[in-house]
Amino acid sequence: MLLEDAIASLQIHEVPGKATQMRAYHKVERAYWGLTNPVIDNQARHWRQKLPLDERLLLAAELWESNAHEARICAAKLLTQARIRPDDIEAWGLIQSWLPDVDCPVIADHLCSAGHRRLNSDPSRVQDVEAWTQSLHVWTRCAALAITLPWTKHRNPKPHNLAIREQALGWAARYTEDQNTLIQKAVGSWVFELSRKDPERAAVFLAEHGTKMRSFARKDASRLLP
């Protein structure tokens, strides 16, 4: 599929005036097309069903490179599914290659949503994610926690899931030394989500590392704790 055709099929759904609102809200200088999330969802789903994997990967790469806000979200959604056949090696590679370009929370969330499915399909990739924690790019460091967020949601995790949870908690512990607002927010959110299913472990983390967290992050993390 030609990139121009793909863009045209998205832009036809522009909501007048929405692009200006989005630019003001996101505060990142790039093209905005004024599309709603359901439009992007529906188009990405259509392409996932219609296009063979090699064409879909190429389209995702080209949409991302266009740097338009909705295009990057759509690129991530093209890779957001539980199983990619015959294999998802190239998809995982694309997701990792895009990380250094991330510069806003909405795009980061969509990329990590695609990424956690690839991590879930091959948990050994957590070692790739470990390397992200050493990145100089703050969004990449945040992504290491965001992509492992689903591992906070098991009430009775199996040993391999518990291992990933504890590995991520190790990253979060190191992150408490970093006073960057985005990093602190990522730690607070991760520990808060953990407290929903395992309040005891969340409380232990805060007892050990909470004093190094900024007050807003510590407060966010402990909302459900006594």
Q: pLDDT tens-digit profile of 148-177? A: 999 999 989 999 999 999 999 999 999 999
Helical H runs in the chain?
3-11, 18-26, 37-50, 53-66, 69-77, 89-98, 105-121, 126-132, 138-147, 159-175, 181-197, 199-209, 215-221
Closest alpha carbon to 107 in 24, 189, 30: 30
d(CA 88, CA 48): 13
Give 5-22 pLDDT, tens digit per residue: 999 999 999 999 999 999
pLDDT in tens, 18-35: 999 999 999 999 999 999
Segment 193-201 shows an average pLDDT of 97
Mean pLDDT on 87-110: 98
Length of the chain: 226
Measure CA 48 to chain center.
19
Per-residue tokens: 219: 């407060």
Instruction: Specify whether the CB–CB gap between 88 and 60 falls below 8 A.
Output: no
pLDDT for the residue numbered 82: 96
Q: What is the mean pLDDT of residues 180-190?
A: 98
Chain-centroid distance, C-alpha 173: 20
* pLDDT higher than threshold 90 for residue 1: no
Query: CB under 8 Å to 153, separation ≥6 — which residues?
Result: 193, 196, 197
Q: Is the pLDDT of residue 46 over 90?
A: yes
Stretch 45-70: mean pLDDT: 98
Asked whether the predicted pLDDT for residue 101 surpasses 90, the reply is: yes
What is residue 137's predicted lDDT score, i.e. its pLDDT?
A: 98
Residue 64 has pLDDT above 90, yes or no: yes
Q: How far is CA 187 from CA 38, 85, 201, in A?
A: 30, 34, 14
- pLDDT reported for residue 147: 98
Please name the fold of domain 134-226.
1.25.40
Percent share of the chain, pLDDT over 70: 100
Give yes or no for residue 185 having a pLDDT over 90.
Answer: yes
Full DSSP string of 24-73: HHH---S------HHHHHHHHHHHHHHS-HHHHHHHHHHHHHH--HHHHH
Q: What percent of the chain has pLDDT over 90?
A: 98
Q: Which amino acid is at 73?
A: I
CA-CA distance, 53 to 58, in Å (whole number)?
Answer: 9
58-78: average pLDDT: 98
Distance CA 43, CA 77 (A): 9
What is the token pair recorded at 214? 């900024």
Neighbours of 62 (CB within 10 A): 17
Residue 79 has pLDDT above 90, yes or no: yes
Tokens of 25: 């809200």
Helix axes 69-77, 37-50, angle to 10 degrees: 40
What is the average pLDDT value for the chain, to the nearest integer? 97
Q: Identity (one letter) of the amino acid at 29? A: E
